[in-house]
Amino acid sequence: MGDRFQVQARLMRRRNGTVVHDETRFVETGTVEDAQAVARRWTGEGLTTWVYALDRVAGRTVYRAIEDPAPGVGP
């Protein structure tokens, strides 16, 4: 697994079919535990979160989804 992780989050609110609020957030961390802590915090704020391990392959960044981005948080 990589030594860099990225958390992505999004919150979108609609009124009568029109987007009235669209918020995105991104942060990189050095450990999966830190990434999961950020994901839990943002999930608690109502955002949908994704956590990716970042790897370098042939000079390109490859994003690998972490299966459970925010353990213990959910509907």
Domain annotation covers residue 72: no
Please state the domain count of the chain.
1
pLDDT in tens, 4-30: 999 999 999 999 999 999 999 999 999
C-alpha of 10 from chain center: 8
Contact (Cβ atoms closer than 8 angstroms) between residue 23 and residue 11: yes
pLDDT band at 75 (very low <50, low <70, confident <90, very high): very low
Domain annotation covers residue 71: no
Range of the domain at 35: 4-65
Beta bridge partners of 9: 25, 49
Contact (Cβ atoms closer than 8 angstroms) between residue 3 and residue 52: no
Domain annotation covers residue 47: yes
Domain annotation covers residue 12: yes
Domain annotation covers residue 55: yes
pLDDT in tens, 26-66: 999 999 999 999 999 999 999 999 999 999 899 999 999 98
**Percentage of residues in the chain with pLDDT exceeding 70?**
85
Domain annotation covers residue 29: yes
Domain annotation covers residue 74: no
